[in-house]
Amino acid sequence: MTRARKIIITCAVTGSIHTPSMSPHLPLTPAQIAAEAIAAAEAGAAIVHLHARQPEDGRPSQDPALFQQFLPQIKAASDVVVNITTGGAATMTTQERLLPALQFKPEVASLNMGSMNFGLYPMLGRYKSFAHDWEEPYLRDSDERIFKNTFRDIETILRSCAENGTRFEIECYDIGHLYTAAHFLERGLIKPPLFIQGVFGILGGIGAHTEDVAHMKRTADRLFGDDYLFSVLGAGRNQMPVATQSLLLGGNVRVGLEDSLWDAPGKLAASNAVQVQRIRAIAESLALQVATPDEARQLLGLKGRNAVAF
3-state secondary structure of 169: strand
**Could you give the domains of the chain?**
6-307 (3.20.20.70)
Q: Are strands 116-117 and 146-147 parallel, antiparallel or unpaired?
A: antiparallel
pTM of this prediction exceeds 0.85 = yes
DSSP state of 54: -
Please, is 77 exposed, middle or buried when counting C-beta atoms within 10 Å of its C-beta (0-12, 13-18, 19+)?
Answer: middle
pLDDT tens, N- to C-terminus, the chain (310 residues): 567 799 999 999 999 999 999 999 999 999 999 999 999 999 999 999 999 999 999 999 999 999 999 999 999 999 999 999 999 999 999 999 999 999 999 999 999 999 999 999 999 999 989 999 999 999 999 999 999 999 999 999 999 999 999 999 999 999 999 999 999 999 999 999 999 999 999 999 999 999 999 999 999 999 999 999 999 999 999 999 999 999 999 999 999 999 999 999 999 999 999 999 999 999 999 999 999 999 999 999 999 999 999 9
* 291-295 own/partner pairs: CB under 8 Å, 24+ apart: 291/6, 291/7, 291/8, 291/9, 291/46, 292/46, 293/41, 293/46, 293/47, 293/78, 293/79, 293/80, 293/81, 294/79, 295/6, 295/46
Neighbours of 267 (CB within 10 A): 10
13, 51 in Cβ contact below 8 A? yes
| pLDDT tens per residue, range 214-228 | 999 999 999 999 999
Over the stretch 165-188, which tens digit does the pLDDT of each residue have? 999 999 999 999 999 999 999 999
Q: How many other CB atoms sit within 10 Å of the CB of residue 220?
A: 23
What letter would DSSP give residue 179? H
Helices (H) then strands (E): counts for the chain: 11, 16
